[in-house]
Amino acid sequence: MSGKKNAKQAAKTTKTITKASAKPAGKAKGKAMVEPAVTPVAPAVEAVAATDVATPPAPTPDADTTPVSEEVTGKQEGAKAKGARRPKTPKAPKADKGMSCLDAAAEVLKANKDPMQCKAMVDAMGKAKLWSSDAPTPAATLYSAILREIQKKGSASRFRKTDRGHFALMQ
């Protein structure tokens, strides 16, 4: 009988240890706190650092042979910086697209001499084959581009606003 009691007592002790290790210390209510056994860990073997090995110092270039870019940036030419991109390969030259919308409008106004609305300028540019667009509202695009140039360049602009929706060339 005493053997059974010892087995039951050992089982209770094991359960208590298991419960105690699952809870933080001091949280068990009315039960004896048993700290889980800590096994000592063997100290880690420290690896010999690469700096402990004697290496000859890197040769320093003379001031006369140091490239200018290295003096300014502190890096050697050809040294790749973190996140640096490789240089882009040169692209083939683009085909001549013709003149811009504003350049074509200036040409049309030069030929007409009178102030014009943007819709009439776009029609004249299309007839003269100076500029064309597949956009749904090229006149609105031209209007905003002319206003932007007038606002940005001021008196140096090629255009002046004469009336609501009418533009002429500056003299």
pLDDT (tens digit per residue) in 67-125: 555 555 555 555 556 777 878 888 766 666 788 999 999 999 999 989 999 999 999 99
Buried b (16+ CB within 10 A) or exposed e, 64-76: eeeeeeeeeeeee
pLDDT (tens digit per residue) in 23-75: 555 555 555 556 666 666 655 555 555 455 566 666 665 555 655 555 555 55
Model pTM above 0.75: no
Q: Which residues pair with 168 in a beta bridge?
A: 160
- Side chain identity, residue 47: A
- 87 token code pair: 């240089």
Half-sphere exposure of 27 (CA within 13 A, CB side): 8
Give DSSP secondary structure letters for 5-22. Answer: HHHHHHHHHHHHHHHHHH
- 23 token code pair: 């809870």
Three-class DSSP category at 56:
coil
